[in-house]
């Protein structure tokens, strides 16, 4: 088990809808406050998506990312910033003519999906390795596109968090490490409970963990009601943990959470009850080899 356990707070995501929770962070100000609340509760990393402030829909707008990131830096927060690169990989086939994209398709060139990473230079960003069903759509991350994104992430000096949803993603990661596309030691995030991906069960988690490279730093999270069981299982299996309103909006059965801070506080309580110690942001930087990234300067504007 880890001597210090990193808690990541995934504060808003792109799947949960505003009508599902009245306090889902939507605006840059709300996302910023969720990050600060999570840090106060014990999170060392904030995983961030942005949304259209008017509609609540997922967005990849660079200006929104900039507002959130610069807001965190202006608050003199120590939390590590982890920006998503997941949006831009979804294909929805038109019924009866599957070659034609239907409403909801978001496919973008790989360079566009990491534009905000090159510009804002967070500490960490996700790099999804999955190609899989998602409802009636397909999420597509081809090896060639992943290589393009990984190259831009490396040039920006950002640590990629390798999001793996199933066994094949782990094998792809090992190939990318072997051919030099990715640097070692890698950082993995195991996604447990996505339909048609890893089942959110202890034996599946152990199976996935055992496929990781020996030097890997890794965490896992569960979706929905499996969020807190996976916190416990990941800690016992030697990993770090993630919670937040991206993954689950309930603090207990039938009771909506008050917010991300409450979810982080419960994860911290679980880890400490099991005998663990929660990492500070500075601890997390040491664990992940990011000791020199504590003060990323804000990008200079022309």
Token couple for 243: 């919670």
Whether the pLDDT of residue 204 is over 50: the answer is: yes
Q: Which residue range is the domain that position 174 belongs to?
A: 4-288
Model confidence at 300: pLDDT above 70: no
**Res 293 pLDDT > 60:** no
Domain for residue 248, yes or no?
A: yes
On whether residue 296 sits in a domain, the answer given is no
Q: State the total domains in the chain.
A: 1
Q: What is the pLDDT of residues 223-251, one digit of tens each?
A: 999 999 999 999 999 999 999 999 999 99
* pLDDT per position as a tens digit, 265-291: 999 999 999 999 999 999 999 999 997
Pairwise CA distance, residues 238 & 226, whole Å: 18
pLDDT of residue 292: 62
In a domain, 79, yes or no: yes
Residue 291's pLDDT is 78
Q: Is residue 253 assigned to a domain?
A: yes
User: What are the two backbone dihedrals, phi and then psi, of residue 255, each rounded to the nearest 5 degrees?
Assistant: -120, 115
Burial class (CB in 10 A: 0-12, 13-18, 19+), 96: exposed
Indicate the pairing of strand 137-139 with strand 90-91: antiparallel
pTM comes to: 0.95
Residue in 80, 31, 36, 34 with CA at minimum distance from that of residue 58: 31
């Amino acid at each position: 088990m880890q001597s210090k356990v990193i808690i990541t707070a995934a504060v808003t995501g792109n799947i949960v809808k505003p009508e599902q929770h009245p306090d889902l962070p939507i605006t840059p100000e709300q996302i910023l406050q969720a990050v600060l609340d999570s840090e106060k509760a014990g999170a060392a990393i904030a995983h961030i998506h942005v949304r259209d402030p008017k509609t609540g829909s997922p967005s990849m707008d660079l200006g929104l990312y900039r507002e959130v990131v610069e807001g965190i830096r202006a608050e003199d927060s120590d939390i590590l910033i982890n920006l998503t690169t997941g949006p831009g990989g979804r294909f929805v086939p038109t019924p009866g003519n599957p070659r034609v994209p239907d409403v909801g398709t978001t496919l973008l060139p790989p360079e566009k999906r990491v534009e905000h990473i090159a510009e804002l230079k967070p500490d960490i960003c996700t790099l999804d390795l999955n190609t899989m069903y998602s409802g009636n759509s397909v999420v597509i991350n081809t090896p060639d596109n992943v290589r393009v994104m990984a190259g831009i992430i490396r040039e920006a000096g950002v640590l990629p968090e390798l999001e793996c949803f199933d066994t094949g993603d782990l094998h792809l990661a090992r190939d990318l490490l072997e051919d030099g596309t990715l640097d070692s030691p890698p950082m993995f995030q195991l996604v447990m409970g996505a339909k048609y991906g890893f089942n959110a069960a202890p034996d599946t988690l152990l199976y996935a963990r055992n496929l990781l490279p020996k030097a890997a730093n890794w965490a896992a999270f569960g979706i929905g009601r499996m969020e807190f069981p996976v916190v416990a299982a990941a800690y016992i299996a030697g990993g770090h943990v993630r919670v937040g309103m991206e993954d689950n909006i309930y603090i207990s059965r039938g009771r909506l959470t008050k917010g991300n801070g409450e979810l982080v506080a419960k994860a911290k309580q679980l880890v400490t009850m099991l005998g663990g110690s929660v990492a500070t942001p500075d601890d997390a930087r040491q664990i992940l080899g990011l000791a020199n990234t504590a003060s990323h300067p804000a990008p200079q504007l022309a």
